[in-house]
């Protein structure tokens, strides 16, 4: 799980962000802080993977907290969610290394895209099964090539991907493309694209096995 805190002095905005976050798998909302000082206390008291951070707050503002996070909490990433749209603040945030910058008011779609992109980059960089190549850096980490949204290659549809992942999570052991084709109701050619994508991003393992009449077959296992 990606342990997350929201730092936002407006209760309504904080509730919206919390509601959106709860709809996305693999994120755990640990706390909501109403000020930079409260957030700093939380960071010192518990492990936090991601901070969703506003700029304009009483007392310590978001930019000051961002500087502290980047200098003292190296394992913690930050996504700004703020009404600050001036180029100076945006430039400061980028130079300090924010993972994304979301401008209020924001939609669920934009919020979800940001979380999924963060999730995928984190999974790639923390997965020992994935060999990081220049192509992966370009397409998945720095997004320099055309994508299908949230860092996905073209041809990988978000809803279909979620459906495939949902089926794979239910598999107790090894399985083949043919096994999942029966359950998912997706053609083997299309399904292979999703399997390749999930393997490339470290979510699906594979090994060689043998099927009927001793024919070699690729067997997969869900890594998460």
pLDDT for res 151: 57
Per-residue pLDDT of the chain in tens (224 residues, 90 and over written 9): 999 999 999 999 999 999 999 999 899 999 999 999 999 999 999 999 999 999 999 999 999 999 999 999 999 999 999 998 889 999 999 999 999 999 999 999 999 989 988 998 888 888 776 677 787 777 666 765 445 555 566 778 877 888 888 899 888 888 888 888 888 878 888 888 888 888 887 888 888 877 666 678 889 988 87
> Which helix (H) or strand (E) covers residue 100, if one does?
strand 100-103
User: What is the predicted pLDDT for the residue at 139?
Assistant: 67
Question: Could you please report the per-residue DSSP string of 160-220?
Answer: HHHHHHHHHHT--S-B-HHHHHHHH---HHHHHHHHHHHHHTTSEEEEEEE-GGG-EEEEE
The helix (H) or strand (E) run that includes residue 125 is helix 108-126
Return d(Cα 148, Cα 16) in angstroms, integer.
26
Q: How far is the C-alpha of 150 from the C-alpha of 100, rounded, in Å? A: 12
Query: What radius of gyration, in Å, describes the C-alpha atoms of the chain?
Result: 20
Cis status of the peptide bond prior to 105, with omega within 30 of 0: yes
User: Model's pTM, two decimal places?
Assistant: 0.66
Query: Distance between CA 85 and CA 48 in Å, rounded?
Result: 26
Domain at 2-119, CATH homologous superfamily: Response regulator (3.40.50.2300)
Residues 76, 65, 57, 99, CA torsion sign: negative
- Three-point CA angle 162, 167, 168, nearest 5°: 95
The CATH class that applies to domain 153-222 reads mainly alpha
How far is Cα 165 from Cα 9, in angstroms, rounded to an integer?
A: 36
Helix/strand/coil for 58: coil
What pLDDT score was predicted for residue 171?
86
* Rounded-to-5 percentages of helix, strand, coil across the chain: 45, 20, 35
179 backbone dihedrals φ, ψ, rounded to 5°: -60, -45
- Phi/psi-derived region of residue 155, left when phi > 0, alpha when psi is between -120 and 50, beta in every other case: left
Whether 66 and 93 have beta carbons less than 8 Å apart is answered as yes
How does 156-184 read in b/e, with b if 16+ C-beta sit within 10 Å? bbeebbeebbebbeeeeeebebeebbeeb
Per-domain residue ranges of the chain: 2-119, 153-222
Strands 27-33 and 77-82: unpaired
């Amino acid at each position: 799980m990606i342990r997350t805190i929201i730092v936002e002095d407006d209760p309504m905005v904080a509730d919206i962000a919390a509601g959106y976050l709860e709809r996305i798998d693999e994120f755990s909302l640990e706390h909501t802080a109403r000020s930079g000082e409260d957030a700093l206390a939380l960071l010192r008291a518990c492990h936090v993977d991601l901070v969703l951070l506003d700029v304009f707050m009483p007392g310590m503002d978001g930019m000051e907290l961002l500087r502290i996070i980047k200098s003292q909490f190296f394992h913690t990433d930050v996504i700004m969610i703020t009404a600050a749209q001036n180029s100076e603040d945006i430039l400061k945030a980028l130079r300090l290394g924010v993972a994304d910058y979301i401008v209020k008011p924001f939609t669920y779609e934009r919020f979800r895209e940001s979380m999924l992109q963060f999730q995928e980059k984190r999974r790639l960089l923390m997965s020992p099964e994935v060999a990081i190549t220049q192509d992966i850096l370009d397409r998945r980490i720095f997004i320099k090539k055309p994508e299908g949204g949230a860092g996905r290659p073209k041809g990988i549809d978000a809803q279909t991907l979620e459906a495939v992942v949902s089926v794979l999570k239910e598999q107790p052991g090894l399985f083949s493309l043919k096994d999942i084709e029966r359950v998912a109701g997706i053609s083997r050619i299309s399904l292979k694209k999703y399997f390749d994508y999930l393997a490339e991003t470290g979510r699906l393992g594979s090994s060689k096995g043998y099927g009927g009449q001793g024919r070699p077959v690729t067997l997969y296992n869900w890594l998460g």
